[in-house]
Amino acid sequence: MAIVPADRETGMDTKAGIRAAMLTKRDSLAPERRIDMSLAMAEAAEAVAFEPGTVIAGYLPIRSEPDLRPMMARFAQRGARLCLPVVLDRQTIVFREFIRGAELVDTGFGTSGPGPEATVLDPDLLMMPLSAFDDAGNRLGYGAGHYDRAIARLRAKGRTPRLIGTAFSIQRVDALPAEAHDVPLEMILTEQGLRSFSQGV
């Protein structure tokens, strides 16, 4: 399938226009197709290298997002310590430990996750949702800036988490408008496989 530049595809080159167009594309996928693509992503994620004990942040799907639960289960089997994002207020997310069997609660913006009794962790690796991505590793989120602020907060503490975007391949555009504060992805995971931007493959 040919990919056209974002401004030609959406009729505009603004982040809001690209976001709306790509999320509409994602929403158009049949639920059964999203399940198959999510399972393919779990298979491809076996190529993500990490040591046992690594803290990995995933997320539970809302709307038409990829379902990372099969992937996270595999990560746990490989020794990862899992956590999920939780919206504390309209500006801040933290990452609470995700333990199998623990009760999940409403954590804001339609998401669910561990309750306040769960341990707050600093991720070593972030599996990040997005609305669009390009071949330079630029990521377009949902507009609230939660992950941008979380990454800045982690870096202020001296931590440099690895950033892996998670999306379906139809969310790719030729180029995204990038700003100085935007942090590029290290890798992108789609149903077509895991791609490293730092290595150019």
Q: Is 19 annotated as a binding residue?
A: yes
Q: Is 110 annotated as a binding residue?
A: no
Q: Is 60 annotated as a binding residue?
A: yes
- Joined together, the tokens standing for residue 128 give 């990040």
The pLDDT tens digits along the chain (201 residues) read 334 444 444 444 789 999 999 999 999 999 999 999 999 999 999 999 999 999 999 999 999 999 999 999 999 999 999 999 998 877 788 999 999 888 888 876 778 889 999 999 999 999 999 999 999 999 999 988 889 999 999 999 999 999 999 999 999 999 998 777 778 899 999 999 999 997 443
Q: How far apart are the first and last CA of the chain?
A: 19
Helix axes 69-77, 31-44, angle to 10 degrees: 20
Q: Is 17 annotated as a binding residue?
A: yes
Q: Is 21 annotated as a binding residue?
A: no
Phi first, then psi, for residue 120 (nearest 5°) are -85, 130
Q: Is 142 annotated as a binding residue?
A: yes
Q: Is 181 annotated as a binding residue?
A: no
Q: Is 141 annotated as a binding residue?
A: yes
pLDDT for the residue 92: 86
Q: Is 59 annotated as a binding residue?
A: no
pLDDT for the residue 103: 86
Per 3-state DSSP, the chain is made up of helix, strand and coil in percentages (nearest 5) of 30, 25, 45
Q: Locate tokens 């935007």: which residue?
A: 182
Q: Is 18 annotated as a binding residue?
A: yes
pLDDT for the residue 177: 86
pLDDT for the residue 10: 42
Q: Is 15 annotated as a binding residue?
A: yes
pTM of this structure: 0.89
- Joined together, the tokens standing for residue 47 give 């190529």
pLDDT for the residue 5: 45
Q: Which of 13, 38, 66, 31 is nearest to 173 (CA)?
A: 13
Q: Which domains does the chain have, with CATH numbers?
A: 6-196 (3.40.50.10420)
pLDDT for the residue 111: 80
CA distance 186 to 54: 17
CA distance 133 to 58: 18
Q: Is 146 annotated as a binding residue?
A: yes
